Structure 1
């Protein structure tokens, strides 16, 4: 690019890890670090606060994962990436607006919808997508403030991280979660919950779960919770499978965690002892682990969930799941499907509805026929689907930014007609969009921490944070800490 066209203007849509790491990866390229390429980056988000899935998709009792916010906060706090929150792409800002104000755009909007589970009865009252429940307990401002928790026995379908998060939140007492950042409405909802039994169902066996050893052990941590295992789920593991299990450290540790729970359960039953949690406290709730169960139908009466039907499964010679022809019914009052996420379509952006991703080639957005859309890129789950952890998102960013740099060097990107940094702010203000900024986030951050300091958990200790849920309140607090702008 010629010097008259500098700085290179980039818009990133989405301020979760995929968006932040894409921006950070560009800033770390040799071309930018050695001064060959000057860049100006605006990071947009539909929420008033940054961090996307880390703020609104991770269970509040997972501080280790929430700690990723610290790294993202450090990046955005440097000041070389401008954050503009409470701006909805497709409504407040269009694809044409982006073409006018930016040389390129990266979509990093993630995947927040639940993947479908196409079985009879899945739409009955009391059947939920796990992502909706996660959004409720994480204080997503776009979701209702209440959640019906009147079922004593609940099914969670899936053996992934989201299934574990949902099961753990349903299994814990509200007081245990009070030490986290959960909003007051979530604490009140969980405190009034009638849930006593949570059932986790997976299609495969204990050795095929994707849990980490720590995540598996955490399932038994809640006070007053008894883990219940079915002996058949372990007995079904063949000698050959045990050899394979022992050869993989993670799989071995996870599987032996389940085996240990079963052995302790059988010891207590043989001794005639009352059920307890892992610390010997009387069991008040139960977490039932079910493996080798394929969901067949959600059962119901009068339009409401009353149970679920499963077929027991096994692995064939090729390691694929097959049914055994044995069907089991369970009395269940609510169902949460946690069988994966699905990306949402973005206005004017080529979309693969089957996979829930933006059509792309190495991060370059394409039409369905492979034709590249110059200057339009994707990163993260909306690029490759909802699989992988933070490390994969960083690798994605390297691939996407490599494509972007190649296109800059090749001169295939048209320069934006409007190159004034503040022009986009004037556009938003003209449209009445009350956008938030990084300064606004720091004000909201301090406000939430002050709410936590003024509250106490079940042990009488101050809480680290109490999350604000109402969008208008988030914007109000954010704007109280933002410098005033002029539309002159």
Structure 2
């Protein structure tokens, strides 16, 4: 990797590596998603002498905002403007197309920086762990989202949309996003940054009914009121609740916390309105109190559940739902990008206390100078605002640890240099990609047409 280059760097003080330029705290952030950018923003504000480098395995920044946010939610993507302002700070550098554990190791980063913050997110799916889950018509919602959002490699997914019924297992916002994309009129999607190949496939879709299935009841639904409102307003789509799922719910509304109360009131209002006849073409069908049991060729079997102390417990009763395509949306987990990361395989995140990574000795002793933020540290919880708050908190912890001299920041650290890593994408390179995508999109009446090939990205960047 970089051992030879470490030696070369230590011998030279010229070519942009003068001792003056190397003064101050050197901090490396691994991951250019929301957690990484929010942490960088606060670090640059609180530590006037620090220099921050963001390392990202893809050639393009913004992570979940670019590849996870639904195309028809452009207002959520406006946060990119804030991230861009942070990226253009004179004390921040972007190293795209550099992969931790492949192009550079964690130990090498720790030699070159006073502190390292891991924020590379969650890139794996939690499994249903039922029979026949490996069948071709069972795919993850994460991969489906990546497909229509243009994550490199996801263009080869080719979901089969030739059947009438889709069953989504899970009731979080991602599950609702996927349902909305499947049921939305194609003309509404054509003006978004949905990839062209996904638009073409969705225009030929035969999907008419989407079941959204959860283990627990309406009072435990994980989607937010904003997501539900959008579904209820979709043209030519009828939302059909099951009346029996709401027995006794109205009597509990007044005791609920305000956000949950508003969401439940909206569900009850929609339930009442569905009694009127409707000739709408498509149907959105939320189903509560059902747990996955078995998958078959064109249907899925569920156990009927009942709530016991807020947990869903399977009964002997079962129900089968039609499912030409099954989308798994029951949560994400992270992967261990480098062998030296103290990783909890069972929970799928880095072992830490309030963002400070623990040593790998089984104790609660922290590894000074090593931190984690975002879903990699907390698990996949909350929305972008949640990530912002947790990233700010960890950045504040780093700042306090530096000010309290918890670890050495007096020694000179070289950081990374662009010339050391072949095909590194700098911020100027990203700006070329960004401009090219916007021009491609403008020709089609879209905000942008994303490049999905890494080779093409590098070519456009001039690398």
Alignment map for 1:448-463 (pairs within 5 Å): 448-455=437-444, 462-463=445-446
For residues 328-347 of structure 1, the C-alpha deviation after alignment (integer angstroms, 9 at most, x for no partner) is 11121111111111011121
Distance 2:249 2:59 in 1: 52
Q: Is the 8 A contact 1:173 1:190 kept in 2?
A: no
Structure 2 residue 192 is the aligned partner of structure 1 residue 209? no
Shift of 1:112: 2.2
Tell me what 1:308 maps to. 300
2:39 to 22, 30, 44: 22
Q: Note the 1:22-171 alignment, pairs <5 A.
A: 22-29=39-46, 32-33=47-48, 38-149=49-160, 150-171=162-183
Matches within 5 A, 1:244-259: 244=255, 247-259=256-268
CA separation of 1:399 and 1:217: change in aligned 2, threshold 3 A: closer
Residue 100 of structure 1 deviates from its aligned partner by: 2.8
Q: Deviations over 1:122-148 (max 9, x none)?
A: 222211111111111110013233422
Instruction: Tell me, yes or no, if the aligned pair for 1:101 and 1:416 is still in contact at 8 Å.
Output: no
* Alignment RMSD: 2.3
Q: CA deviation at 1:415?
A: 5.7
Cα distance in structure 2, aligned partners of 1:70 and 1:3: 31
1:397 aligns with 2:391: yes
The residue aligned with 1:296 is: 293
Single out whichever of 356-365 and 7-16 deviates more from structure 2: 356-365
The 3 A distance-change label for structure 1 pair 416 and 89 is farther
Do structure 1's residue 356 and structure 2's residue 348 form an aligned pair?
yes
CA distance in 2, matches of 1:106, 1:130: 28
Deviates more, 1:45-54 or 1:79-88: 79-88
**Counterpart contact for 1:100–1:416, Cα < 8 Å:** no
For these two proteins, the number of residue pairs brought into alignment is 441
Aligned to 1:424: 417
Structure 1 position 440 matched with structure 2 position 429 = yes
Asked if structure 1 preserves the Cα contact closer than 8 Å seen for 2:33 and 2:65, the reply is: yes
What residue number does 2:16 align with? none
Give the alignment partner of residue 314 of structure 2, picking from 317, 323, 341: 323
Q: CA deviation at 1:3?
A: 9.1
Offset, 1:240: 4.4
1:397-416 aligned at under 5 Å gives the runs: 397-414=391-408
Unaligned runs of 5+ in 2: 1-18
CA distance in 1, matches of 2:397, 2:229: 41
- 1:264 is matched with which residue? 273
Distance 1:115 1:143 in 2: 18
Indicate whether 1:472 and 2:463 are aligned: no
**With structure 1 as the length reference, what TM-score do the two structures score?**
0.85
Separation in 2, partners of 1:20, 1:377:
15
Which stretch has the larger CA shift, 172-181 or 366-375? 366-375
Residue 256 of structure 1: how far off its partner (Å): 2.9
Kindly state the Cα deviation for residue 39 of structure 1 after the two structures are TM-superposed: 1.1
Determine helix, strand or coil for the equivalent of 1:144. helix
Asked whether the 8 Å contact 1:146–1:189 carries over to 2, the reply is no
For structure 1, the 5+ residue unaligned runs are 269-274, 277-282, 456-461, 481-488
Q: Identify the residue that residue 13 of structure 1 maps to in structure 2.
A: 30
Separation (CA, whole Å) in 1 of partners of 2:180 and 2:395 = 37
Counterpart CA distance in 2 for 1:239 and 1:260 is: 10
What secondary structure sits across from 1:119 in the alignment? coil
Corresponding residue number in structure 1 for 2:3: none
